[in-house]
């Protein structure tokens, strides 16, 4: 068995298993805690609270005007990175093929050149984000090993993906192996650190929206 065979076979299966089991464990460990009661008369009914909760998932993407001047750089870099990643994963032809293999969904891909440019911008934004994390006093204070590890585990797939797509420095199959293995490493760590924000962000925003809607408080 070559390393590529391993990456495409047992490696992928193992990574999926760990990612799904770990996520299920962590999310259920949070959501199955005893819910405290809220006996105060709510300002709006349950349906209204659900509506606000779901809306908050989306409105939190755009911060309020009062915050803007100070967080423009943070929002700019973070949005560039996240949107870039979305364009690469959902717009790149090889990824669409992969998704089609597992989930039978498909859609038109973006031109390779465009994905290449977006990949470069995404990589640059990641490097800028790392510098910011190292040098900004607030981020330096807050950051732990998981922050840097999570950065690396996302950086490697983006970097190896660019090198794979450019078929440069090493062979196609070497970069393909590295790319798949790096994604699998990310999948294995995902449930245990901050990378799980891919799920927790939606739960957290919705929960805040619903709880605050009960009070008519600002979301």
Partner 1 sequence: MRGFVSDFGPTAALSMESCVHCGRCADACQFYVQTGDPRYTPIHKIAPFRQAYAREVGPFAMFYRLLGLARKVTADELTKWQDLIYDSCNMCGRCSLICPMGIDIADLVEKARHGMYRAGLAPSDYLGLLAEKEQATGSPFGLSTTKFREMLNAIADQHGVAMHVDEATADIVPTVSSIDLKTYPGSMAAIAKILNHMGESWTFRTDGFDADNVSLTAGDRDGQRKTTLGIVQAAASCGAKTLLMPECGHAFTEMRWEAANAFGKPLPFRVMQITEFLAEGLADGRIRVKTVKQRATYHDACQISRRGGATAGPRIILEALGVDLHETEDTGDSNWCCGGGGGVALINRAAPLRKKAFEIKQRQIEATGMETVYTSCSGCRQTLDHGGKAAQWNKTVGSLLELVADSLRP
Interface residue with partner 1, options 1, 33, 47, 105 (CB under 8 A)? 33
CA dihedral sign, ordered 107, 110, 116, 118: negative
31 contributes a contact to partner 1 by CB under 8 A: yes
Please tell me the distance from the alpha carbon of residue 23 to that of residue 16, in angstroms, as a whole number: 10
Tokens found for residue 112: 């390779």
Interface residue with partner 1, options 1, 2, 40, 102 (CB under 8 A)? 40
21 contributes a contact to partner 1 by CB under 8 A: no
Tokens 């298993």 belong to 17
Stretch in the footprint of partner 1 (CB under 8 A) among 96-104, 120-128, 159-167, 190-198? 190-198
Query: Which residues ranging from 64 to 123 are in contact with partner 1 (CB under 8 A)?
Result: 64-67, 70-71, 74, 78
DSSP 48-95: HHHHHHHHHHHHTTS--GGGHHHHHHHHHHHHHHHHHHHHHHHHSHHH
Q: Helices marked H in 104-144 — which ranges? A: 112-135, 137-142
The least distance separating partner 1 from the CB of residue 123, rounded to whole angstroms, comes to 20
**C-alpha distances in Å from residue 189, one per residue of 23, 27, 174, 194:** 10, 15, 23, 9
51 contributes a contact to partner 1 by CB under 8 A: no
CA dihedral sign, ordered 201, 151, 164, 19: negative
The least distance separating partner 1 from the CB of residue 99, rounded to whole angstroms, comes to 26
- For partner 1, the closer of residues 116 and 200 by Cβ is 200
The least distance separating partner 1 from the CB of residue 125, rounded to whole angstroms, comes to 14
Query: Which residues ranging from 128 to 167 are in contact with partner 1 (CB under 8 A)?
Result: 133, 136-144, 147
Which residues of the chain form contacts with partner 1 (CB under 8 A)?
25-26, 28-41, 43, 56, 60-61, 63-67, 70-71, 74, 78, 133, 136-144, 147, 192, 194, 196-197, 200-201, 203-209, 211, 215-219
């Amino acid at each position: 068995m070559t390393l590529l065979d391993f990456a495409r076979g047992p490696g992928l299966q193992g990574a999926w298993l760990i990612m799904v089991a770990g996520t299920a464990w962590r999310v259920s460990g949070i959501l199955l805690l005893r819910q405290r009661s809220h006996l105060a008369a709510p300002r709006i009914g349950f349906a209204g609270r659900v509506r606000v909760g779901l809306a908050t998932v989306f409105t939190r993407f755009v911060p309020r005007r009062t915050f803007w001047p100070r967080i423009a750089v943070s929002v700019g870099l973070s949005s560039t990175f996240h949107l870039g990643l979305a364009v690469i994963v959902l717009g790149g032809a090889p990824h669409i093929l992969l998704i089609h293999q597992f989930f039978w969904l498909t859609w038109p891909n973006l031109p390779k050149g465009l994905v290449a440019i977006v990949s470069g911008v995404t990589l640059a934004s990641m490097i800028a984000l790392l510098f910011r994390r190292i040098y900004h006093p607030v981020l330096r204070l807050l950051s732990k090993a998981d922050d840097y590890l999570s950065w690396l585990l996302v950086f490697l797939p983006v970097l190896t993906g660019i090198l794979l797509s450019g078929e440069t420095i090493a062979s196609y199959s070497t970069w393909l192996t590295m790319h798949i293995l790096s994604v699998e490493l990310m999948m294995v760590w995902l449930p245990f650190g901050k990378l799980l924000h891919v799920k927790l962000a939606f739960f957290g925003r919705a929960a805040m929206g619903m709880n605050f809607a009960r009070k008519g408080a600002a979301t």
